[in-house]
Structure 1
Amino acid sequence: MKQFLSSKFFKVLFALGVLAIFLGSVTPGKQLPSDLPWDKALHFIGYFGLAFLARMGSDKRPSWLLIVSCITFSLIIELIQLFIPNRGFEWTDVLANSLGVLTGTVVALLIRPLVVKGAVKRP
C-alpha cells in the first residue's frame, strides 16, 4: 500500500484538535447546547482523536510520552473547569478521556506505517 500523508499534516490537525478541545472545555456550561449526546462518549471521541493525531504526527516521541501528555492535558482542562461557571471537575470525564487516549494511540500504532510517508513501526 502506498503511504500518502506526511507527519506534518497530522501535526497541524493535532494543534487544531488541542485548540478545539480547549475552547470547548472552557466554554461556560450555560453556553453549551443542551441536546448533546452522552457526555462521556464525547470525551472518549475527542481524546481518541487527539491521541490518534499525536501518534500519527510524531516521528520521534515514544508512545508512552504522548499518552502521558494527552492525559495530563485532560487533567489540566478538568482542573481549569473548577473556575468556569456551570462546569466542574469529574473523575469520570478523566476516565473517558484516558480510555480515548489509550484507544486512539493503539489504533494509530496499527495504521501509521500504512498511511504516513517514511513511518516506521514504534512501540
Structure 2
Amino acid sequence: MKKFLSSTLFKVLFLIGVLAIFIGSVMPGKQLPTNLPWDKALHFTGYFGLAFLARMGSDKRPTWLLIVACIAFSFLIEIAQMYIPNRGFEWPDLLANSLGVLAGTVCAIPIKHYLKKRKIMATK
C-alpha cells in the first residue's frame, strides 16, 4: 500500500511556507492590507505552520535544531524589516513568532509519531 504522506511532501510545503513568510515580511508597510486581524495572531500562526512543516518533513534533524533555525529565520526577517519602508523590528513580533515555532513543533511531534505508527506516513 502506497503511503500518502512523506517527508518530501512536508519539505516542499515547508519551502513554500518559507517563501510565503519571506514575501509577506519584506513588502513595504504601505502595501500591506489594512483589514488584517490581530497582527500577532498572524505571526504566531505563520510560524506555527512553518515549524510544524519543518518537524514533519525532517527525520534526521534534531528538534532543537529545527526550533533554533525557525527562530533564527524569524529574527533575520525582523532585522531585514528595519531597512524596509514603513516596517521595523518589533520584539513582540519576534515573541509571537517564537511562541508559534514552539507550539508548532510540540504539536507536530505526536502527530508524526501517530502517522508513522499507523503506517500512514512513509519513514523515508
Q: Quote the offset at 1:117 in angstroms.
A: 1.6
Tell me how far 1:113 sits from its aligned partner.
2.0
TM-score when scaled to structure 1? Answer: 0.92
1:33 match: secondary structure:
coil
SS in 2 for 1:16: helix
Q: Distance in 2 between matches of 1:88 and 1:36?
A: 18
2:28 match:
28
| Separation (CA, whole Å) in 2 of partners of 1:62 and 1:81 | 29
- The 2-side partners of 1:81 and 1:107 are apart by 29
Residue of structure 1 in register with 2:122 after alignment: 117
Partner of 1:50: 50
Matched with 1:84 is 84
Gaps of 5+ in 1: none
Compute the displacement of 1:48 (Å).
0.1
Task: Give the drift of 1:114.
Answer: 2.4
- SS in structure 2 opposite 1:114? helix
Q: How high is the TM-score relative to the length of structure 2? A: 0.92
The alignment covers a number of residue pairs equal to 118
Give CA-to-partner distance per residue, 1:34-89, whole Å, 9 cap, x none.
Answer: 01000000000000000000000001000000000000000000000000000000
Equivalent in the alignment of 1:61: 61
Q: Give 1:4 deviation, angstroms.
A: 3.5
Structure 2 unaligned spans of 5+: 116-120
Match of 2:41 in 1: 41
2 CA distance for matches of 1:105 and 1:4? 21
Counterpart CA distance in 2 for 1:118 and 1:46 is 26
Please identify runs of 4+ aligned residues in structure 1 that moved more than 3 A.
none
Once residues 65 and 34 of structure 1 are traced to their aligned partners in structure 2, the CA distance between those partners, rounded to angstroms, is 35
Structure 2 SS opposite 1:113: helix
Q: Share of identical aligned residues, percent? A: 72
